[in-house]
Each structure stands twice: as C-alpha cells, then as structure tokens.
Amino acid sequence: MIAGRRIVLGVSGSIAAFKGVALASQLVKAGASVDVVMTPSARRFIAPLSFRAITGRPVLTELWDEESSDAIGHVALGRAADLIVIAPATAATIARLAHGMADDALGATVLASSAPLLIAPAMEPHMWAAAATVENVTILRRRGAIVMEPGEGRLASGQIGRGRLPEPEEIVDAIAREFEREQDLMGRHVVVTAGGTREAIDPVRFIGNRSSGKMGVAVAEQARRRGARVTLIHGPLQVALPAGVEAVAVESTREMEEAIHSAVRTASALVMAAAPADFRPSAIAGQKIKRRASVTLDLVPNPDILARLADWRGIKVGFAAETDDVIENARAKVTAKRVDLIVANDVSEEGSGFGTDTNRVTFVFPDGRVESRPLQTKSAVADDILDLIVGLLALKEVVQPSST
Ligand code: PMT
C-alpha cells in the first residue's frame, strides 16, 4: 500500500526529531518516495543531511531556497504529495497549522496541499493538555486531519505523562491504514444523523437531551473524507457543521424521520448517531405555560425511526446509549431495530457518550458477535464504523451482484 506513494515528512523542533529519521527509513524501505521538510527549530535537533542520506532526496528547510539547484518548491511538493505526515509535531507547529500560517517551508507545503494530513504530536504533557492545544487539535481534526494520540511515559524532561511521539512503527501503520481507506466510499451516498431532537412543550420550552452532535458529525466528516456523498440530518449542534456535506436541520423526531425517509432513497448506508427524543407531549400549549404549583405533561411515544426502516435495503447502523447491561440491551436493539450493526456506548463512563471528544464503543452484530474497541477519538470510532460499512457493502454486492 505504501509502495510507490509520495510522502512528505514534516519534522518540527523536538528532542524526538531523531525518531523522524527512523520513520523516514521505514517509509523508504516500504517503497515510498519521501521528501522531508524541516522547520527552522527542527534543525537545532538534527541535521538535514541525516534525512538526505536516508531518503536520497533534497530536504526543504527554507521557504526561499527554491532557487538552489536541487530544491523542490513547497507548492510542487504539496501538490505532488499522496500524504503529509508530521512527526514529531510540536505544540507550536500544531498551532501554526491550525491557523493556516504559511511563513515557513512546512506551513506553506501543508497549505499548498490537499493530501491527507497525519499528525504525530510530541510535547510536554501540560502542553498537550493546554486549552489552546486542545482547541488547535480540534480545529485540525474538524478539517479532516488525523491527529494521533501521543504515547504515555517518561519524557526527555523527566516528566511522566502523555506527550511521547508515537513509535515509528505505529506511524507507519497509521499511514498504511490511511491509504487503504482512501476514497473507499467513492460513489456511495451515506446518510448520517447527529445531535438530539427537541419536542416542544409550549412556544418557549422543549424536551431535549445532552447530545452535542460530535459523534454524528465525526462520522459525516470521515465519510466525506473517504469519498462518500454525505447527507447529515441533524438537530441543534454544539459543533460546527463539517464542510462538503449536505446538511438538513431538523427539530423534532418526526421531522428527522421525514428527512431520513427522503434522503435514504439514494443511499447505500444510514448511520443513526443522533439521539432522537423517544417521547413528545401529546399536545403543544399555544401559549407559554404560566408558573403554578404543579404541571403534568402527558407524553406519547415518537416513532422508532430505525425500526420503521425495516424494509429499506441499505446498510443500517444504530447506536445504543446505555447506562447498564450495555451488551444485553444492545443485543435487544439489534433484533428490535433490525440493523446490521449496533454501536453500543456506555454513556455513564467518563470520556464516553454525550458531549465528549472521545468514545469507548462495542460493536454488536446480528449474529451475536461482540467486538470491543478502546477509548478513542470520535473520529477514530467513525473510521472503525465506516471500515465495517465498507466490508458489509462489499459482502452485499457479492451476495446480490446486480439486484441492489
Ligand atoms: O452527540 P454526542 O454528544 O457526540 O453524543 C453521542 C451519542 C451518545 C448521542 C451517540 O454516541 C449515541 O449513543 N447515539 C444514540 C442515542 C440514542 O438515541 O440511543 P437509543 O439507545 O435511545 O437508540 C438506539 C438507536 O435508535 C439509535 O441509533 C437512535 O438514533 C435510534 N432511534 C432512537 C429513537 C427513535 N425514536 N428512533 C430511532 O431510530
């Protein structure tokens, strides 16, 4: 997969820069053509010659050294790249990339490129946890960059914590996975739902839930990155809409159901990450309900959207937001909703479920199989779900070659 690919390796100024040499060497051995771009501070840690010796190619260190005989311009490099990997990426480099700074060779190369961007951070634990870095990483992930989680352990400073550069082997694996996923949903239409729905009580109040929309938005983003045409049907979101998707805003569960029915006509897959309200008031008060000793709401059930799509032939993925007996309840939902996959998340677990950037999920299949995943970013969970959808779509084509 890596063989024959053109990879730009960006190296920024960290004590871990020497691992960039090991990474370059592994990529070259795997058959890639590797162009290295160094930030000015990277050169304080390692000489460009080390990279040149390994890759056999000139190293770009300055934005303005393009007149020199063998230097390749940042624009040409960015455009020709099949993938850009930045390892190590310091907090400063991550900040510069998040803000589109193009005043050094690495920033300019990234900005000139539309290739997938893989970032392998390395920094002190408190810098990785700093609010500014967290926001910068979120910006880059929202734009489609893959930001790896740094490793945990003892750092060069003697501090112990999260901030170690992932090992070169892990970075090579992530690059290989990225090439495998590249455009594997091209030509597919994927419908994704995100966020909670709201059921009006009166003109100012509603029944809602804690869904931020992050999980569904991550699925929509990754599906778009992998080449799908994406329709994102969403309730109110606490995150920005991803670029390049067809967004349909809805408020109530019944509105969501209507939008889904019209969108799935041309779709190959539906991923229901939304948390639609299961109940709604039997009547909406025409005027604001005045304060009084007690108010009783009569609730009626909303339609079960997934269950009512039983006859639709695309791949159906549901989520299960559980607080207890996670697997048992998810198994019951696979059967009741007749889906191809339930993604169960324990929403009472820290770092999982509503509003978080991470999720720990378990895949529950109709044949009873169960696969647990570690705590990961919602983008990584989204990619795991899409990997399964790609597999299920391929299987369906083998079973029903031209009738679907
Ligand atoms: O949005 P975030 O803050 O990122 O949080 C993510 C999440 C916790 C909302 C998400 O990971 C999740 O678990 N979504 C499903 C929430 C939910 O409604 O779970 P449920 O167990 O009640 O429903 C099971 C499945 O049926 C879900 O796919 C749901 O979308 C679907 N459903 C639910 C109700 C309904 N009336 N019709 C449905 O189709």
Atom of ligand 1 nearest to the CA of 359: 11
d(CA 29, CA 3): 9
Residue 154 confidence (pLDDT): 86
DSSP string, 8-24: EEEE-SSTTHHHHHHHH
Q: Of these residues, 209, 329, 345, 359, which one is catalytic?
A: 209
d(CA 146, CA 120): 9
For the packed helices 91-98 and 131-142, what is the interaxial angle rounded to 10 degrees?
50
Tokens of 350: 């820290």
d(CA 175, CA 117): 10
Show the beta-strand stretches assigned E in 137-272.
Answer: 146-147, 151-154, 160-164, 189-194, 199-200, 206-207, 229-234, 246-249, 269-272
d(CA 106, CA 97): 9
Within 6 Å (CB) of ligand 1, which residues are found?
195, 211-215, 253, 272-276, 278, 302, 304-306, 318-321, 333, 337, 345, 347, 353-355
For ligand 1, atom 34, the nearest C-alpha belongs to 276
Q: What architecture does CATH give domain 6-181?
A: 3-Layer(aba) Sandwich (3.40)
**Strands 83-89 and 6-11, bridge-based pairing:** parallel
Phi, then psi, of 367 in degrees rounded to 5: -85, 10
Q: Which CATH superfamily is domain 189-396 in?
A: CoaB-like (3.40.50.10300)
Residue pointed to by tokens 């799908």: 228
* 378 CA distance to ligand 1 middle (Å): 15
Taking alpha carbons only, the member of 386, 387, 394, 359 closest to residue 220 is 386
Atom of ligand 1 nearest to the CA of 195: 1
d(CA 157, CA 160): 9
* 322 CA distance to ligand 1 middle (Å): 9
* 238 CA distance to ligand 1 middle (Å): 16
d(CA 229, CA 265): 13
Tokens of 236: 């109110």
- CB–CB of 35/112 below 8 Å? no
DSSP string, 37-95: EE-GGGGGTS-HHHHHHHHSS--B--TT-TTSTT---HHHHHHH-SEEEEEEE-HHHHH
Tokens of 382: 């989204």
- CB–CB of 191/264 below 8 Å? yes
Tell me if residue 359 is catalytic: no
**Strands 117-121 and 146-147, bridge-based pairing:** parallel
pLDDT tens per residue, the chain (404 residues)?
899 999 999 999 999 999 999 999 999 999 999 999 999 999 999 999 999 999 999 999 988 765 444 556 888 899 999 999 999 999 999 999 999 999 899 999 999 998 999 999 999 999 999 999 999 998 888 777 889 999 998 887 888 899 999 999 999 999 998 888 878 999 999 999 999 999 999 999 999 999 999 999 999 999 998 999 999 999 999 999 988 899 999 999 999 999 999 999 999 999 999 999 999 999 999 999 999 999 999 999 999 999 999 999 999 999 999 999 999 999 999 999 999 999 999 999 998 999 998 899 999 999 999 999 888 889 889 999 999 999 999 998 777 655 44
Does residue 357 sit in helix, strand or coil? coil
Sequence spans of domains, the chain: 6-181, 189-396
DSSP string, 177-195: HHHHHTTTTTT-EEEEEES
Chain centroid to CA 34: 26
* 156 CA distance to ligand 1 middle (Å): 43
- CB–CB of 223/315 below 8 Å? no
Tokens of 227: 């080449």
Tokens of 64: 């303005």
Atom of ligand 1 nearest to the CA of 213: 1
Dihedral (Cα; 191, 194, 200, 201), 10-degree rounding: 140
Residue 374 preceded by cis peptide, ω within 30: no
Mutation choice for ligand 1 from 191, 197, 210, 211, CB with most ligand atoms inside 8 A: 211
Same fold flag, 6-181 and 189-396:
yes
d(CA 123, CA 148): 13
